[in-house]
Structure 1
Amino acid sequence: MPDHYRVEACVTNAHFCFPVPESEQILLDTVRKLAGEFAAVAAEYDERAEIAVGHLDSLHHAGVNRAVLPAAVGGGGLSYLGFGQLVRILAAADPSTATIWTMHTGAGVALAELTFQTRGAFFAEEFLAGKRFANALSEPASGNRFLAPQQDAVARGSDWTLSGAKRFVSGAEIADYLLVNARVDGVPTFFGVVPDETVTVIPIWDTLGLRATRSQLLEFHDTVLPAEFRGRAPGPGDFAVIPAGLPGISLGIADAALAALIAHAQSRIILDRPLSHQQWVQHEVADVQAKLAAAHALYEQALWQADHGIPLFFPTLDRAKYLANKVAVEVAQLGVRIGGASGYLKRSPIQRHLRDAEAGQLMAYSTEVLASSMGAEVLGVE
């Protein structure tokens, strides 16, 4: 293996990952240092349901946004494998920051790529300048099918307008630009939108987990969808930020949950011996750790496939998300069992991991939708 690759930084929770280039490891080391700071205050932001804007600024100033922007649109061209490790590091420290950053990056990169022939350079420059982006794609009536909008845009001169709602828009309150889709002549069409007085935030945010994402519901009232910011549909060759990031968020949460239950089991003394010495604890931990390692391996395989242009990486990512979502909940639930009454207390990180882990299963595509498509494929159902 070439000298400019390192393996040792990939070892986490007794699993080994594909190595990434040395230059990317330098970036990941910087992110690890920042993540340590984020982790120290993650519970406070969760308690207040407040976006950690300072965390997002720190990532930008560290060059993380520039690194993840594809080289074709003026960025550093971070590999999928590097991106996956980055998301997992952030999610283990502060999953809300990891989620809102992934959505911001997904919208910014998408607008730079989808409008490449027209305003792509503009959106790339705004992204690199530190402007904030948010995805406004999911509709109350479209379920998980966020790329297939049900709302129709209305032609107005050379532009279009949109009236309707978009839900779970992470970072909506601080966004300078929104990635919005609507049907134009029956075809899903994507636009960049500058939020103005026609876009209203509906203050309904009171969630169980990932509270600091503040993924709000937006209402659009004849909001202009400008022709100059119209983009093409996503396609092969685009950097699939959100599909590649979602499994990493759940895996980061699972890593943190496992670390918390291990710490508790090693420090909690029952009948003069640490809880970790009890056989049932050892058996249960062995089971979830093996499943977590398998989920990591499947995720890394998908990222490696993506880096090497293998079309199968999307089905592999679907399976990785499904397994990561399920395993994160299983690890977090075991943490509550091992933590006992003390793990159920509000001051314990164990209860927060459980709440955050549940959210991954609801993000598109949900585990139910993925199970249906995967099961049909395996059974040969058209």
Structure 2
Amino acid sequence: MTTAEFSFPVREAERKVLDRVAELAEGFRAAAAEYDERAEIAVGHLTALHDADVDRAVLPERVGGIGLSYAAFGHLVRVLAKADPSTATIWTMHAGAGVALAEFTADTLGGFFAEEFLAGKRFANALSEPASGNRFLNPQQDAVPVAGGWSLTGAKRFVSGCEIAEYLLVNARVDGAPAFFGVMPDETVSTIPIWDTLGLRATRSQLLSFDHTLLRAEYRGRAPGFGDFAVIPAGLPAISLGIADAALDALIEHARSRVILGKPLAHQQWVQYEVADVQTKLAAAHALYERALWEADHGVPSFFPNLSRAKYLANKIAVEVAQLGVRVGGASGYLKQSPIQRHLRDAEAGQLMAYSTEVIAGEIGRAVLGVAEDE
């Protein structure tokens, strides 16, 4: 792949990483179904990404990395998600936690977390609480002052890759306000084995229990800011778009190869009409996402709400494409060995990731109608 093949400006360092990810993705795709079947984290995939300098690429230049543009980052996650959405999800959450800790603590730890991230240590986000719903940046659990920092007792849910994580990004209320910490899991942090999901099984996003866990004062960081690289908000739409792209490819392959009454299924008019509908919607979702990434790269303030809109549309269209794949695939698409059923299961998971489609719909609707959130 050459620079001219990208639809956005690409620096040489970015191009090398994106080309390598495209190569790795082919192998990831071949193994994705097996890892999904076993509900097993593809540790080798994550190691290969680190060795390909993907972690260094996503880390902003100001804290020691290459500093991917938002456009390049979105492309990278889409490529990974199309091949193996579980690996794409774990890596996005790992990058989100690692980059956030490097940025949040840059003034206090002198790049400690950045160095650990670049050294290949594993990070995970432990922000979502059973009681806080989608509002993962507004924790409801209070940390109690103790010697050396604060003590946290509670739980964090859907922590992707937590079983291999060496550092956690954790938040809690301190003096009534959200506070963010780096935590090295010890005997006070335990995994509650609840993982038996329908989709994205290889993320193993478990529930973590904290029992008087020390949140060290020296590992406390500032709150998220506008200038921070928004890894997770920018990555989540790409995960659903990658799943949708894979689902559409599987649908097309089946429709072209399955012969009904002497002609490929693709010749049936209802299939053509339905495919036209979902493909057009998917193209619109890609365009909205790319617009939001462009705004982020150019410092346009509207990029954040537009990333939410892109996630909403990407989540919805991924499910639509995957559902159509099952209809076109018929009984064959319903079989366990078919990729069509896995795409459907994975597509449904995107709608549940914070912020969920219902929460985003409420935000969009209030904005369009001019209704204040507290009204």
TM normalised by structure 2 equals: 0.98
Q: Does 1:331 align with 2:327?
A: no
Could you say if the C-alpha distance between residues 8 and 251 of structure 1 is closer, same or farther in structure 2, counting changes exceeding 3 Å?
farther
Q: Does 1:68 align with 2:64?
A: no
For residue 80 of structure 1, the aligned residue among 70, 77, 80 is: 70
For residue 9 of structure 1, the aligned residue among 5, 14, 33 is: 5
The letter for the 2-side match of 1:109 is: V
Asked if the contact 1:162/1:182 (under 8 Å) is kept, the reply is: yes
Asked if the contact 1:291/1:327 (under 8 Å) is kept, the reply is: yes
The letter for the 2-side match of 1:222 is: H
Could you say if the C-alpha distance between residues 357 and 120 of structure 1 is closer, same or farther in structure 2, counting changes exceeding 3 Å?
farther
Q: Distance in 1 between matches of 2:12 and 2:184?
A: 38
Q: Does 1:44 align with 2:40?
A: no
Q: Distance in 1 between matches of 2:244 and 2:278?
A: 10
The letter for the 2-side match of 1:329 is: V
Which residue does the alignment assign to 1:146?
Answer: 136
Which residue does the alignment assign to 1:160?
Answer: 150
The letter for the 2-side match of 1:111 is: L
Which residue does the alignment assign to 1:130?
Answer: 120
Q: Distance in 1 between matches of 2:152 and 2:313?
A: 37
Q: Distance in 2 between matches of 1:113 and 1:105?
A: 12
Q: Distance in 1 between matches of 2:239 and 2:148?
A: 40
Which residue does the alignment assign to 1:236?
Answer: 226
Structure 1 stretch displaced more, 323-332 or 115-124: 115-124
**Identical pairs, percent:** 77
Q: Name structure 2 gaps, 5 residues minimum.
A: none
Asked if the contact 1:247/1:299 (under 8 Å) is kept, the reply is: yes
Asked if the contact 1:111/1:120 (under 8 Å) is kept, the reply is: no
Asked if the contact 1:6/1:21 (under 8 Å) is kept, the reply is: no
- Count residues with an aligned counterpart: 372
Which residue does the alignment assign to 1:225?
Answer: 215
What CA deviation, in whole Å up to 9, does each residue of 1:95-120 have, x standing for no partner?
00000000000000000000011115
Which residue does the alignment assign to 2:87?
Answer: 97
CA drift of 1:6 comes to: 6.4
Matches within 5 A, 1:342-357: 342-357=332-347
CA drift of 1:8 comes to: 5.5
Q: Does 1:209 align with 2:199?
A: yes
Structure 1 SS opposite 2:335: coil
CA drift of 1:245 comes to: 0.1
Matches within 5 A, 1:226-265: 226-265=216-255
Could you say if the C-alpha distance between residues 8 and 344 of structure 1 is closer, same or farther in structure 2, counting changes exceeding 3 Å?
farther
Asked if the contact 2:240/2:314 (under 8 Å) is kept, the reply is: yes
CA drift of 1:22 comes to: 4.7
Asked if the contact 2:181/2:216 (under 8 Å) is kept, the reply is: yes
CA drift of 1:38 comes to: 0.3
Q: Distance in 2 between matches of 1:69 and 1:203?
A: 31
CA drift of 1:344 comes to: 0.2
CA drift of 1:27 comes to: 1.7
Structure 1 stretch displaced more, 340-349 or 119-128: 119-128
Q: Does 1:112 align with 2:102?
A: yes
Which residue does the alignment assign to 2:261?
Answer: 271
For residue 376 of structure 1, the aligned residue among 359, 366, 374 is: 366
Which residue does the alignment assign to 2:15?
Answer: 25
Q: Distance in 2 between matches of 1:226 and 1:19?
A: 41
TM normalised by structure 1 equals: 0.96
Q: Distance in 1 between matches of 2:195 and 2:186?
A: 21
Q: Distance in 1 between matches of 2:32 and 2:75?
A: 19
Structure 2 SS opposite 1:224: strand
The letter for the 1-side match of 2:358 is: E
